[in-house]
Structure 1
Amino acid sequence: MPAFHRVRPVSDTINWSRMSLDELVEFYETEIADEMYRAGMSPATERPSYEWLADHGYSGIAYTLREHHNLTLKQFIVEEVGVDTDKDDETLGYEWEISDEETIERFETYLRDRQRRQNLADSTIRSKRTRLARYAREYEALHGAALLVDRVQDPDTQPEEIKRVLSVFDVFDDELASNDSKAKHHYDVNDWYVWLQNRAIATYNPAATVATSFGGWNTDTEDGETKPALRAEQLREILTACDVQADRLLVVALGAWGLRRGEVAALHVSQFIPNAEPPRIEFDERKNGPSSVQLLYGVDDYLDRVEALDESGWNGYLFPSNAAESGHIAPGTVNNRFERLVDDADVTLRGDRPTPHACRRFWYNAYQDAMQNLQDQVAPVADDQGSSSAAVVVDKYLSEDQARRARRDAMRERLAEVFEVRS
């Protein structure tokens, strides 16, 4: 039986503006702290997010602190209440340098969500944070307070907000050195607004058509890059060109597992846990530290390769090399083999030969497609529940385990559509 917490119906039943700072501290230490205990949180060491406070009817405290006591919510909790988070959390320490706390909270929640669900590297998250901050600061410099969340909640504000957003990108168009940099800024800002829409926070995306207003911007980006991804039909052509088992596994590792070429070259049987649910590959070192990669497709390809190599003297590498001191092929060999396959398949991207990284970008696009298909499937449930967003149904109405399994199944089906091709 799930635990239920008491939720205040509306924040305005509390007369925040009449409370002194001491009374606000007392209210936090009794009412809000008690609510945190019931939610399984630690009031002594945890700082509740703006989103959590709003969900529990306490959103008015942030406005009162800002307007009547010249304090941010974080300053109040840490300096006045005395909560010691004792965390080395880069997000908490980042200075966004804008005044609207709700926008900051939504930025931080978005970045945590993207890192957790898309397994983005710390360096990628830092880059996204920097670009979002630059956008918000420029917006605030041009239009006063950066009320980015508040202004996309009312559809009547859409025409004026689109103009405000365009004016920010007018500045970027003048100041940023390259179209590549401009596109990266637009990609991250647009992705954040889409994230707000998917959670029924925003009613529209004011950045959706920005790129069409500027010539030369390349918006086909993924993970901060502006290079194109392979399409499903192109990957099928490459798979058809695979005459040997090792070639097929190489393409599966790049496209279905989303691995980097260096990770593919050094794959070792000791990293694989094929009987887990879901099966996975363990990495002691990755770009963003130790982690694992789920094998939602391709376990049979892995087992077939192991069976073919499992003989006396095998060193355990899936792509072994007797000539290399490491015992496995080099990343450049992955490039060479992949280039041979795309040449055999006569596949190009914008007239050029695609690199292995185009497979990784395909993986990210496939994940987004799978998540959209999942939301389409639950859309009738969203209608029945009176929700304006199918993403809310996935996140709020399913348990964490149910949502995780639903996402895995959706991605597994998407990958099977592409990779169940044999030469």
Structure 2
Amino acid sequence: MSEQTYNWSRKSLDELVEFYEHEIAPERRREGYDPNQDILTYQWLVDHGYSGLQYAVREHHGMTLSEFFEQAVGLGDDVSADNPSWPIDNEQTIEYLEQYFRSQQRGSAAESTLQSKRSRLGQFLRHYEDLHGTAAIVSRITDVTDQPKEIQRVTAVFDVLDTELESNDSKRRYRSDIDDLYSWLVDRGYGAFNPVRYDHEWDVAKRDNPALAPAQVGSLVAAADGTEEQLIVLGLCAWGLRRSELASLHTANVELQAESPYLTFETRKNGPGTVALIYGQDGLRDRIAQLSGREEWGGYLFPSPDARREHVTGETLNRRFKSIAARADVRVRGERPTSKMGRRFWYSAYADAVETVIDRLQSVAHEQGSSDPMVVFRNYLSEEKRREYLRDAMYDRLAAAFEHEAEF
């Protein structure tokens, strides 16, 4: 069957998962692989006529192949985070990798962040072993006389990754994780040099990240159809949630009875945390009231229609956000906005709120003989007062956008 007959670009993320389960998994099983554990390589997809899958998940769902197989399909789910399975045979390297991740777990990184890092390092090491016959990366950085050859070996792996990773953001993440591993090995005295520091730099300088304008947020609110779509706009733009956090939002995360309502998360990207519900509590109450009448409702605010999942995926919410933007005819630099642009609007609004508060303290600072109002903000206001001033300023900015009162 030719690639064109699969219509990759027209398949939703759920349809691509079903395609894997119904078409690819049986073929993998016939070849002796475990389709529930073994993550596919791009070369295997090419050899079997499925190369269009990579383009579809990258261009239409913002994922790498590894992220698709691990996060959407769920391959390797039963591998313990404390005892990861590495796609290499070198026991010494695996031992150091496990030491490295134990040190990472003692930090503040969330487990989801560490899982993604394991995936990227695993892919790097798999390519290294395929190209150079062994993944003995530690023994090859102990003698500085080996430095020129090892730089060439690592650069060869980056060249392979360069052909696989179309996203500049993905390339930066891979390079950062690999560099961090080698730096850790050198810092601990296991190696004499870091070969990543000398490779080609993957000229992918960070682009500035555009955000939605206040008037555009107002247009999205006007185009939202029903409480569910309104909650999508609120969650991204008024609360600054990541799309994965919003997709998995549960009533257990919600505290509306407190004097200052908030959301609480046991695990966020940088550890546990809370999010202030400065604006939009009524929309949240409406959604909970709408769902509470359903039979066997599990408490998720975006329950999945797929019986295999308790809630929708972050990518599903991103598609719905884009659909709202299309109806509102909102574009940012000529393109339909993504969910990240909603979160960036929140950060932009918060920064402006801080600036507003600081400006208001200018006269107080002057009377205290200081030219810097931040001195007043930090040293002369209680934490409670700082929070109150910021909440009020942030509320004004969010209300202006969501209620179409005025531009900032």
Q: TM-score, normalised by structure 1?
A: 0.47
Normalising by structure 2, we get a TM-score of 0.49
